[in-house]
Amino acid sequence: MTERIKVLVSACLLGEKVRYDGGHKRDLFLNETLGPFVEWVRVCPEVDCGLPVPREPMRLVGDPEHPHLVTSGTGIDHTERMERWAKVRLDELSGVDLCGYICKKDSPSCGMEPAGVFTRMFIERFNLLPVEEEGRLADPVLCERFIRRVKA
């Protein structure tokens, strides 16, 4: 049996109830179509850094190149907490032989446009690995391009 390639993925896309509202965003394409061919390495930056479920929604504010992760209602800044955790997690991931990362669209911690705090740090650390949001994988051209890069 061929060893499956390892791809980092936002845990909510696997169906884990880790979102701010206690829900998930299970993605059928990732779980049922790609799932048999990859070994998912799950990550939920918000929960993994110690934030509870449910929790207050957060957003990115300030400098687009290095935004702060701030709760929407109370204005609590979780940037330092997230960055401190992310540095440790990225060190751990450097020994995992990852081939890519699929992140959650519009997440302030692991989205791409704008780059969430964790995704920004991931891209800086692993700048040669392909990174894509789950929603963009519905586009056949983008999906094929991502899969080709992951397999390379």
C-alpha to C-alpha distance for 124 and 30, rounded to whole angstroms: 25
How much is the average pLDDT of 82-103? 97
C-alpha to C-alpha distance for 129 and 38, rounded to whole angstroms: 15
pTM across the whole model: 0.95
What's residue 1's pLDDT? Answer: 52
Rg (CA), the chain: 15
Question: Pairing state of beta strands 38-43 and 5-10?
Answer: parallel
Q: What does the domain layout of the chain look like in residue ranges?
A: 5-151
How much is the average pLDDT of 81-108? 97
pLDDT 10s digits, 32-74: 999 999 999 999 999 999 999 999 999 999 998 899 999 999 9
How many helices (H) and strands (E) the chain has is answered by 5, 6
One-letter amino acid of 106: D
Q: Is the pLDDT of residue 131 over 90?
A: yes
What's residue 152's pLDDT? Answer: 84
